[in-house]
Structure 1
Amino acid sequence: MAHQMLRVHLVDDDYLVRLGMERLFEGLSHIELESVSSTGDAAIKDALALAPDVVLMETMVRNVDGVRAVQEITTRAPQVKVAMLSSATTFDVMCDAYRAGAVSYLSKYSVSSDLGSAIRMIHRGESIFSMPPELERFPVPTEPEDSFEVQLIKRLPTRDRAILAALTAGRTNAQIAGALHVSEATVKAQITKIMANLNVGGRVQLAVLAVRAGITLP
């Protein structure tokens, strides 16, 4: 049975970064870097015209910034999955990207070794929440009053909070299961249960709430 070729569109205005990413794609099987844009407006135009499977969008691009471009693409072409790709950002930008429709948030520091796996997961509908090193040390924003969901997260059992802490660091279900010495199915079921109890629609939103609740890996 032939494997489906996944088509990817890259958006980044740094020539050296684009060159490095293109070389990473050369070593991936069944994944094609079909097109590249260097500005936000070009990214919107190309994504709508080509309808790639996955768009990797740098947050800081010219003409139209990355978050606005994500919103435009996901609104007009909801079948296209967009993941933010960033080397440096703030927690607020990460949240804005999620609200704009980004399904995942990838750090440029972490994609070199597992880019192919990440793209396949994103295409399957999974979310990856991978914070760059400087954001992992970024102080969690405080709010005048915690939301109801954040209050519930703070009251979760120790095991559930450990799962969420690993989730905020971008760990996969398999990695979380190995660290906690439980099955991958158990982790998946527990995350699904937590999302249902909090009425959140995905791993990214759940991870954002967990960070707001102060639940992160030490």
Structure 2
Amino acid sequence: MTDAVRVLLVDDQHLVRMGFRMVLEAEPGIEVVGEAGDGAQALELVTRLVPDVVLMDVRMPGVDGIEATERITTRLPGTRVLVLTTYDLDEYAFGALRAGASGFLLKDTRPAELLSAIRSVVNGDAVVAPRITAKLIEYAAPHLAADRSAEADEALQALTARERDVFRLMAEGATNSEVAAALFLSESTVKTHVGRILLKLGLRDRVQAVILAYRLGVVRPE
């Protein structure tokens, strides 16, 4: 289990944590290293256990999931937070992503999708539940007006022409394989481009890339 993805479960409902534990422990290569019933306990366990991924509830007493996510991603940027909630309200999704979460899923997500999401965020990708993506962009649109400042232009000029193409497709929600097909590149080449884009723009993951692309007007909400 030395190469297993180490996961911390955070939810104020014991039965919910039990359900997630059963799903995850049945999957080879994933290890549940601990459970927390609120954000404060999660912060203690994350500091001690340093998991690869935290499955984080949003609504909890005391320190809620959004505040806990912000503290975790600030203290331990190598730990990814995947927010799971029963609510698909816009402010929860956008709040979680602004706090540094690498993904947002609903609790009724199928087990296979949850497992795939965990592996995706560990690999540096972002995951957002498809049925809330449109709402998320609609909610964020007023805050993401095109910024054509010198700073914005400088950020884009740091990218090569090919990297700009990849950046635009990323912002439109294309996966690495879809970007590869659209630009007639290999998937490994696309992964290299994505890594360079994140590095040049000082971004943590694809979620931040999407938000930046909308803010800069690279793509616009329809």
TM over 0.5, yes or no? yes
Matches within 5 A, 1:77-96: 77-96=76-95
CA distance in 2, matches of 1:53, 1:15: 22
Contact 1:59 1:67 survives alignment (8 Å):
yes
Contact kept? 2:146, 2:214, Cα under 8 Å = no
Q: Which runs of 5+ in 2 are unaligned?
A: none
Contact 1:53/1:80 (<8 A) preserved: yes
User: After the TM superposition, which of the residue ranges 24-33 and 178-187 deviates more from structure 2?
Assistant: 178-187
CA distance in 2, matches of 1:72, 1:198: 22
The yes-or-no answer on 1:74 pairing with 2:73 is yes
Is it true that 1:37 corresponds to 2:36 in the alignment?
yes
Matched with 2:105 is 107
Identity %: 30
Q: 1:44 to 1:144 in 2, by over 3 A?
A: closer
The residue aligned with 2:48 is: 49
The reply to whether residue 141 of structure 1 matches residue 150 of structure 2 is no
Partner Cα distance (2:86, 2:220) in 1? 20
Using the TM superposition, give the Cα deviation of residue 161 of structure 1 relative to its aligned residue in structure 2, in angstroms: 3.4
Tell me what 1:209 maps to. 212
* 2:172 maps to 1:165: yes
CA distance in 1, matches of 2:132, 2:27: 28
Matched residue, 1:129: 127
**What is the SS of the residue equivalent to 1:34?**
strand
**C-alpha distance in structure 1 between counterparts of 2:109 and 2:221, whole Å:** 17
Evaluate the alpha carbon distance shift between residue 214 and residue 38 of structure 1 in structure 2; reply closer, same or farther with a 3 A threshold: farther
> 2:77 & 2:203 partners in 1: Cα distance?
19
Structure 2 Cα separation of the partners of residues 39 and 163 of structure 1: 34
Q: 1:111 to 1:181 in 2, by over 3 A?
A: farther
Unaligned regions of 5+ residues in structure 1, if any?
none
Which deviates the most, 136-145 or 42-51?
136-145
Runs of 4+ in 1 over 6 A off after TM superposition: 156-159
Q: Cα distance, 1:57 vs. partner?
A: 1.0
Aligned CA distance change for structure 1 residues 97 and 144 (closer, same or farther; 3 Å): closer
Q: 1:195/1:15 Cα in 2 relative to 1: closer, same or farther (>3 Å)?
A: same
CA distance in 1, matches of 2:119, 2:202: 26
Q: For residue 185 of structure 1, what is the aligned residue in structure 2?
A: 188
**Partner deviation per Cα, 1:118-156 (whole Å, 9 max, x = no partner):** 3334334x0313135134245243249522349x98xx9
Supply the distance in 2 between the matched residues of 1:191 and 1:217 (Cα, whole angstroms): 22
Tell me how far 1:174 sits from its aligned partner: 2.8
State whether structure 2 residue 5 is matched by structure 1 residue 6: yes
Whole-Å separation in 1 of the counterparts to 2:100 and 2:129 = 17
SS at match of 1:61: coil
Which residue matches 1:59? 58
Distance apart, 1:35 and its partner CA: 1.6
1:106 CA drift (Å):
3.1
Secondary structure, counterpart of 1:142 in structure 2 = helix
Give yes or no for contact 1:9–1:52 (8 Å, CA) kept in 2.
yes
After superposition, the CA RMSD in angstroms is 3.7
